[in-house]
Amino acid sequence: MLSIPIVDGNVSKETKMIPKWKIYPRSQGHSTVYLNNVVDDPSIEVGDYTIYDDFVNDPMDFQRNNVLYHYPECNHDKLRIGRFCSIACGAKFVFNAAFHSLKGLSSYTFPIFFEEWNLPSDVASIATAWDNRGDITIGNDVWIGYEAVVFAGVTIGDGAVIGTRAVVTKDVPPYTIVGGVPAKPIRRRFDDRTIERLEAIKWWNWDERRIEKAIPAIQSGDIDALELIGSGRCE
């Protein structure tokens, strides 16, 4: 379990366990976790209040079970997930080492087996076994469905929805619902003007007090009220 520095003045140099309420949003169940308090890999960045739910495996093992073929020491690749995202059971993030290089005449990963074939053993040479497609970037308020797969190099915009078992190989625009293999747009969640307003409001960056006040507007779809709360004119 992740530990954090104690910030009070009594024992500032020691560590303590994060209280369970910081990890588990619901006191009655431990299948859902706040993901940023679970991962400890510096190449995985997760925003506040993003949740992962797993009813098959321990959600505490997200880093091991769901972030695959991720070798940042070779590829310097990162997984970035924004705030208030919802990630369903079994969703996978597949990184660069999964994509065998197709630049040569064979897809076999000879450079990985350098001992067998008397090849260079430095990291740069080993990394030629696969194609480096880049990072995975997930925006804010994104919902990723059950057993969906997101490939390296993909950026998913704010407010997007990824359907169950979709395989996302290309970027997804903000507030777009995608599904299928490979994932394709199904529809946009809102009209252009509403999306522009939501992207300008960025409610997910507000402080907790303002978000709590805005929940009725968010859930009812009242963007006028949301803008008013964001402006501070209804304090």
Q: Which CATH number belongs to the domain containing residue 72 in this structure?
A: 2.160.10.10
Q: Are residue 31 and residue 66 in the same domain, yes or no?
A: yes
Q: Are residue 15 and residue 73 in the same domain, yes or no?
A: yes
Q: Please, are residues 51 and 35 in contact by the beta-carbon 8 Å criterion? A: yes
Q: Are residue 156 and residue 46 in the same domain, yes or no?
A: yes
Give domain status of residue 168, yes or no: yes
Structurally, the chain folds into a number of domains equal to 2
Q: Give me the pLDDT at residue 230, please.
A: 92
141 in the Ramachandran plot: left (φ > 0), alpha (ψ -120 to 50) or beta? left
CA 190-196-201 angle, 5° bins: 105
Strand 86-87 relative to strand 143-144, pairing: parallel
Q: Are residue 40 and residue 75 in the same domain, yes or no?
A: yes
Q: Give me the pLDDT at residue 234, please.
A: 62
Q: Give me the pLDDT at residue 67, please.
A: 98
Q: Give me the pLDDT at residue 167, please.
A: 98
Domain around 225: 190-235
Instruction: Report in angstroms the alpha-carbon separations of 233 from 199, 210, 215, 227, 229.
Output: 20, 12, 17, 9, 7
Q: Are residue 46 and residue 84 in the same domain, yes or no?
A: yes
pLDDT tens track for 9-33: 333 333 434 455 589 988 888 999 9
Q: Are residue 173 and residue 86 in the same domain, yes or no?
A: yes
Q: Please, are residues 139 and 156 in contact by the beta-carbon 8 Å criterion? A: yes
Give domain status of residue 33, yes or no: yes
Q: Please, are residues 145 and 161 in contact by the beta-carbon 8 Å criterion? A: yes
Q: Are residue 86 and residue 53 in the same domain, yes or no?
A: yes
Q: CB neighbours (10 Å) of residue 193?
A: 9
pLDDT tops 60 at residue 208: yes
Give domain status of residue 220, yes or no: yes
What is the strand order of the sheet 67-68 is part of? 67-68, 92-94, 149-151, 167-168
Catalytic residues: 100
SS3 73: helix
Mean per-residue pLDDT over the chain, rounded: 90
Residue with tokens 């510096």: 42
Q: Are residue 138 and residue 172 in the same domain, yes or no?
A: yes
Say what the pTM is: 0.87
